[in-house]
Structure 1
Amino acid sequence: MMQQQTPKPVVIKFPKFRIKALPAVVLSVLLLGFMLYFVLPVLHIRFLDWIVPLMICLAPLLAIRRLRKILYVVYPLLALWLILAPFFSSGIFNSGSYRRMIGEVEKTEFSDLVAPVNLDQVPILDSAFAKDLAAKKLGEDFALGSRVVLGNPTIQMVDGKLFWVCPLLHSGFWKWITNTSKGTPGYIKVSATNPQDITFVRELKGKPIQIRYQRNAYFGQDLYRHLWWNGFAGIGLAGDTFELDDNGEPYWTITTYTHKIGVSAPEATGLAIVHAGTGEIKYFPLKKSGGIYDDSKIPAWVDRIQPSYFVLPQLSWWGKYVHGFWNSVFGKRDLLRVTPGYNVIYGRDQRSYFYSGLTSVGSDEGTVGFALTDTRTKSSHLYLVSGATETAAMRSAEGKVQNFKYYATFPILVNMNGKPTYFMTLKDSAGLIKMFSFVSVRDFSLVGVGESVRSARDNYQMALAGSRTGISPEAADKQATLTGTIARFGSDTTDGRTYYYLTLAEAPDKIFIASSNLSSRLPITRAGDQARVSYLESADAEITLTAFANLSLGDK
């Protein structure tokens, strides 16, 4: 019997993949050009986004024997820098520096910074609703609506009025390539206070608006590539805000920044302003003077220099590292955190501020105060007041109209009778504004709702006047008292509540409003009675009373 032979293994030899020196260098250079043109890394040691592209560009050079040993050292060093730099830049080693990033936080009186609410200037439209209205306006032009999309709306002060401004952007590569010379034709302005005031701005002074440089453009018209190749390759570029100058000319404002703590903690260093049509670039560096940034050389029409995603983390670090890093992990003594969400409000000085609530760690419903940060200089003001968070205030407003199942938008902060007050709109399931609401920050059970801003204000002030909360100390010195003869007296029922209106012969230009919650004498008061009224001084023709006494009926 023949013995079966064991089959010999078959060895398949693959040819070694080798690249000669010259092709390797050429490939490396091509990769470098691709990375520089399309990836646009920040070429600075304080940034990390250049490391991985560099490692990819160097990879073909591994085929060159003379460079291989060097690259075997370079790659681990780059990897170590990528790992260790963020670690040593963290709060473990730099908690004090992180806390000082926001600068000095000044304690201030709320009324000193925020002017009393002007009902005609209360922004009742949020970003989502403004964009919906702009989309409907855009939809009126069927041909245009198929080739452009709306950019993110930006709230800004234009000629003393608040507007949401939405730029028109290219809807894709092929739409861009057929409109490279003309760009997109204009922008849409939506009044933040009047949903009927919507303007499609296509031209200025008889010349068409052409937005060529934008995020949705390609190659040389891409906004960030345009900046990168014009001297901004070695500095960080944060955000792109669409803003209008005093003449309605469209610009992009982009914040330049560096990292202050190793490779972390972004800090604004200046502002690049790019004309959306011509691409002209103007740069304004930010310099500190007296501990705060000097923005005097930056055009006044620019509302925002400091991005919200720089300011809010810095506020968070200020509250988190109050006693160093380890206290934020274990003891957690005196820690503060920023409440979810923020908004932009305008102060007495017509400057915009980021508003954010501050609450103690572990508290879900209550705030210990709130911070207002200048969106240009980053100067921050702290107002200490115990009260409700924005979320709690929203639920309180929704509870007032729970039978309608309306939902509240994120509130803005207003000054009502010298008291910080949340204002929000109430929407139905279709996203349409149905009602308005004011909620006290100090006591979120004090709620006023109405189908108009004025009726909601009156409802709220009546609740405020009859509550234990009363008038805030900082507003007490603005309270006026007047004694005289009632010239006219009447009543009106609005939203199920009876309001009483009266005028005094001694002040015929003022109409005073109150409800029976303020005084039980009001329902039996009539013209000719002697009365003493107290109210907060206001330029409004209709003023809500804070106190009422009918002297003819024996009140003292």
Structure 2
Amino acid sequence: MKKWIWLVWFLLLVEVSVYYWINLPPFNVMSMAFWLFALQTGGLVWLILLFTTSTGPRFERVTRMSGRQRQVDSFQLKGGTLSPLTRYLGRALLALMLILGLLLVIHTRIFRAKDYAQVVSVTEADFKEDFPETDISKLALLDRTSAEKIGDTYLGTIDKVSQFGISDDYRQITIGEQPYRVSPLEYKNFWKWLTNHQDGISYYVKVNQTTGKAELVKLKESMHYSDSEYFLNDTMRHLRFKYPTVLFGKPSFEVDDEGNPYYIATEYAPKFGLSSQDPIGVIVLNAVTGETQRYQLEQVPDWVDRVFSADNVITRVNDHYTYQKGFWNTIFSQTGVKKTTDSYNYIAIGSDIYLYTEITSATADSSNLGFILVNMRTRQVTNYKLASATESAAQASAEGEVQEKGYEATAPSLVKFADKAYYLVSLKDDAGLVKTYALVDAEDYQQVTVNNDLANLIAQVTGEDASSLSSLSSSLTGESTAETIIITGQVEALGTQMISGSTVYYISSSGKIYKVKATEDSIDQLPFLKVGDQFSGELSKNNYLKNFKIIESE
């Protein structure tokens, strides 16, 4: 029987080890994750003590007679008192659960609403006077979906393309005051990792959010620490074993201004009891060497863009505006209660990333009271007063301008031109491709200007030169940003075919077939194209020609 008892304790050790390996709770009494780990371990120990003795299981076989006079064997706990250790452990676990539950309750917003309201302070400012004018050359236009679409097209250019994919991180950062989304390559599965992990990951993707230009960056030294690694090179596990008592969040990928890859893990401490975790610093992990460095908030390097998460920022701002007059005011009179709207986005200003969202009253409709701008590295919060439409109202207004086409508006970007606030909205088709753009007046959201070319749209509304954005449209529509190839030739044979309701012209020239799709923007002479005509156009995917022109003979 002793062998059986040793087996039970061994299985407990295995379970505890597996739990820790997977969940990685910190050994810190200020962490609720630690106490949950302790409770589940203590609970299993108590069950083993309850159902076993030093000589074997605390069961005995009992034979009874059934109603049909048959013998039935069953098992029941042996009589006798529980051991002192079992009783004391059970009481200690129960007491611990009660204490933890009490701590959680007394530190909720019901009892500490005004304390929650004071975690952040908000600087009041005027939008027209204090909000920075938008720099077109640094305007972050690409959303995550568009950045992924552009970045993923570069995967086929690497060696061992079948072994790697691109992580879906696409984290927004600034590099040299220019907004980018960056994402590392990752092993596709465990077997791909097993084959390639000794060589490491040699690339990451960065997509310029202003120009739409993507680059597959090859590192001088490969990364050996990432989220797609296994065992001790996994970023979270590497940091946990190096800092077993520190509370930190999931590391996120960033690069410094020289392009060196790092993972940034925000360090936390509970603000009230064991509740309401709040950042107190960061751990910077070198993705190449595995070396780490801890920084307090005031020491964080300038190139680190994201110390505070969006969830943390939104929660703290909501607490500030909701609980200034206590918890019960939010339930009954709601005097002075404000809140953020349902959506938010990011703006690059200088070398920092800012989250912006709108502030509206507790009984909000389609208007808001101003904009909140939060520095994601320092959590400085500024409220810019401006009565305006909400983002959702601006999106609906933009979609209404092209309702016959059924385009869907993406999350708007807040911009300021000539002291006036606008929402810049991209409108996508069902395939997720950007088809047109809209500038919506933030103060009067019924005033909408739409243009298929972003540079022309901004120039049309503001009178500013926006030629720096001229390459972005082709990037967002999924077309290559590579060097344009101009095709010229003579029509040797001509045919047409209807495809999905559109007429496609097939042109045979110099042994090749080119295609031209008839659209609203096609030249008026296209239906009159004939054999012998000279033509020119930009070569696109699948041998389609864009900007097709018929060359007049001299």
- What is the aligned partner in structure 1 of residue 106 from structure 2? 88
Q: How does 1:39-50 map to 2 (within 5 A)?
A: 39-50=23-34
AA aligned opposite 1:265: S
**Per-residue CA shift, 1:390-432, capped at 9, x if unaligned?**
0000111111122222211101111111122211211122111
AA aligned opposite 1:278: T
Q: Gapped runs of 5+ residues in structure 1?
A: 1-16, 287-293, 463-556
Pick from 146, 149, 162: which aligns with 1:129? 146
> SS where residue 207 of structure 2 aligns?
strand
AA aligned opposite 1:344: Y
AA aligned opposite 1:227: L
Q: How does 1:188-267 map to 2 (within 5 A)?
A: 188-195=205-212, 197-203=213-219, 207-208=220-221, 210-231=222-243, 233-267=244-278
- What is the aligned partner in structure 2 of residue 160 from structure 1? 177
The Cα shift of 1:51 comes to 2.9
Total equivalences in the alignment: 429
Alignment partner of 1:313 is 2:315: yes
**Per-residue CA shift, 1:190-223, capped at 9, x if unaligned?**
111123x2111123xxx34x22212222210111
* C-alpha distance 63-413 of structure 1, shift in aligned 2 (>3 A): same
> Whole-Å Cα distance in 1 between the matches of residues 164 and 303 of structure 2?
30
> Whole-Å Cα distance in 1 between the matches of residues 196 and 98 of structure 2?
46
> SS where residue 178 of structure 1 aligns?
helix
Q: Gapped runs of 5+ residues in structure 2?
A: 50-82, 464-554
AA aligned opposite 1:351: D
- What is the aligned partner in structure 1 of residue 20 from structure 2? 36
Q: How does 1:79-478 map to 2 (within 5 A)?
A: 79-102=97-120, 104-110=121-127, 114-141=131-158, 143-195=160-212, 197-203=213-219, 207-208=220-221, 210-231=222-243, 233-286=244-297, 294=298, 297-347=299-349, 349-461=350-462
> Whole-Å Cα distance in 2 between the matches of residues 358 and 351 of structure 1?
22
- What is the aligned partner in structure 2 of residue 55 from structure 1? 39
> Whole-Å Cα distance in 2 between the matches of residues 271 and 63 of structure 1?
41
> Whole-Å Cα distance in 1 between the matches of residues 138 and 436 of structure 2?
17
The Cα shift of 1:333 comes to 1.6
* C-alpha distance 298-174 of structure 1, shift in aligned 2 (>3 A): same
* C-alpha distance 238-392 of structure 1, shift in aligned 2 (>3 A): same
> SS where residue 339 of structure 1 aligns?
strand
Q: Is the 8 A contact 2:281 2:300 kept in 1?
A: no
The Cα shift of 1:19 comes to 8.4
The Cα shift of 1:461 comes to 4.3
* C-alpha distance 100-131 of structure 1, shift in aligned 2 (>3 A): same
> SS where residue 426 of structure 1 aligns?
strand
> Whole-Å Cα distance in 2 between the matches of residues 318 and 33 of structure 1?
41
Q: Is the 8 A contact 2:46 2:90 kept in 1?
A: no
Which TM-score applies when normalising by structure 1? 0.73
The Cα shift of 1:160 comes to 3.0
The Cα shift of 1:256 comes to 0.5
> Whole-Å Cα distance in 1 between the matches of residues 48 and 163 of structure 2?
50
> Whole-Å Cα distance in 2 between the matches of residues 239 and 366 of structure 1?
36
**Per-residue CA shift, 1:171-208, capped at 9, x if unaligned?**
2222222223222221011111123x2111123xxx34
Q: Structure 1 stretch 42-51 or stretch 277-286: which is displaced more? A: 42-51
The Cα shift of 1:24 comes to 5.5
> SS where residue 33 of structure 2 aligns?
coil
> SS where residue 278 of structure 2 aligns?
strand
Output the aligned Cα RMSD.
Answer: 2.2
> SS where residue 370 of structure 2 aligns?
strand
Q: Is the 8 A contact 2:267 2:280 kept in 1?
A: yes
> SS where residue 436 of structure 2 aligns?
strand
* C-alpha distance 436-265 of structure 1, shift in aligned 2 (>3 A): same
AA aligned opposite 2:401: K
